[in-house]
Structure formats: C-alpha cells, structure tokens
Structure 1
Amino acid sequence: MTGGAEKAPPESGWLIAANVVRWRRYGEGGQELRPGTKSYRGGTKVYVIGSRPGDHEVLTTVGRGRHTREYITLDMATRHLHTFRATLVRSPAVLRRDAADLVGRAWGCRDEAEEAAVRLSALAAECRGARWAGVPHPTPCRCHDCLTSGALTPG
C-alpha cells in the first residue's frame, strides 16, 4: 500500500535515562582504563528499556552508538551506567525500539520509573564496587567512583 497509510508516531512514555561511565577499569587487576564501552562513548545518554528476567545486572539499553551515532539497542552491564533518572521520552526512534523489545515497556508511569531509577543507581554502585573489590586503583585513576568522589590522584 502506498500513499496515505502512515503509522502514527508512538505515544510518549516514561523510561529510565542513564549515562555511560566516562572511564572504566579494565584488564588484569583493573589497572587499565578505557573510555566508555565498546559500543557507547563515555557520557552517552542511554535509555533503559528493560532487563533480563531476574537479572538486573544486565540492562537492555537504547542509545547512539560510538561509531555510527545511529540508535542501537544492546544489553550492557549495569556497572557501566550512572546517574539513573526517570524521563519522559518523546523520541519516535527510542519509543519504537522500546515497543519492539520482547518484554515491552518496563515502566508504565513516572512513579514506577523513579523508584526503579533509585534501585538501579544503588545496584550499579554495588556492582562497580564488587567488580574490583580489594584491588587497588591505578595511579592516576579516572574510574567513575574516583571521579565522583573527588579522589583523583594527580599524575
């Protein structure tokens, strides 16, 4: 069918937005630092559209890819995200990807999204701490925890 059969844009909805950590620890003993992740640049805003059932340590995200700057959907570790917050999304590209997700919209209203954002913030901090527990930070360290605590060691 051609012509006037256009799809209506998806209805706006509440999702959780977060940012990818600027630097993450990597390698043997966490002594290397890498900017962002393989797929997202550090600081990229992503939308959390769901998680695997029973596993909130891996989240399904939508954001602009590192290389193409086009929207991509992928599962990523919660520890690589920070600053979780509820946001009203109007972007048709993000909403279409959310609707195409098998689980569907994870958060129906603002209150549910805000509560989930608080839980995910705590979980992300816990996962970052547990990943390298008992291992000293490299010097200087620019990992998310060091940058946000002001413990950046001059180098």
Structure 2
Amino acid sequence: MLSHHCVAALVIDGTKILLGLRGADRAFYPGVWDVFGGHVEHGEDELAALVRELREELGIEPVEPAWLATLPLANGLGVCSYYLLRRWRGEMVNRQPREHDRIAWVDEAGLAALTLAESFYPTMFAAVMRDGRFSLTGVE
C-alpha cells in the first residue's frame, strides 16, 4: 500500500483562514476546499517541505510555523502534519492555478457552505481560532 507523508498550514489572519479550492482533475481530494501544503519529499524534513510548498503555492515564506497535530489522511494512505501559521513574508497569490482553482479567506460561518477536504476541519479550525491549538480528542 502506498503511504504519503504530507504537511499543511492553517494560514490564519485574525478570524479568517486561507483555503484553496482544489481543481476537479486533481488526483488527491479533487473539487474540495483545503488548506495549503503537500508531500514531504525523500530526504526532506517537515518544516523544509512546508516552506517549499508555501513558496510554490502561495509565494510566501512562513514565519514561526507551530506544529498542531499529525493525523491520518481520510483516504487511509498516510498522514499529514498540520502547522499553524499566523505570520509570513511576501505577498500572497495563487501561484498554482492548475492545482487550486481559486483561494479565499473564510471565516467560521462561511465554512458551512463549503465542501471541505477533511470532515474534522470545522472542529480543527474552530479550536485553532479559539485557543491557538488543536487536540485530537473527538477527531475520527
């Protein structure tokens, strides 16, 4: 069985989180709203992968990303480590329009109208907005 090791950033600005609508033709999580990140390459550590992915996808350099949790992927084919990012350098743009049809800042109320990549995202996003951290309690 193929195993993926991914990293992702919850990019937060005040009470909003940055999400990207994944292209309908993507192999993983097509047509859903997701956080930004990607696969950890061979010989790369998680933080290096996070920095690379955020540069490639958004044109930003993360400042002091904080680890939140490492959770199984919904498809059961690996894990993803999530990091909180409240500060960055650079101007944010959608540098991968073939991967993300669009990007948007979304508040907690706006999440209900979106199809999200992971069922635990609303719980995770609310906890991070409220406490700046996330517990695995109650996550399936």
Same fold, judged at TM 0.5 (above): no
Higher strand share: 2
Which one has the bigger helix percentage?
1
Q: TM-score, normalised by structure 2?
A: 0.32
Work out which of the two has the higher radius of gyration on C-alpha atoms and give 1 or 2: 1
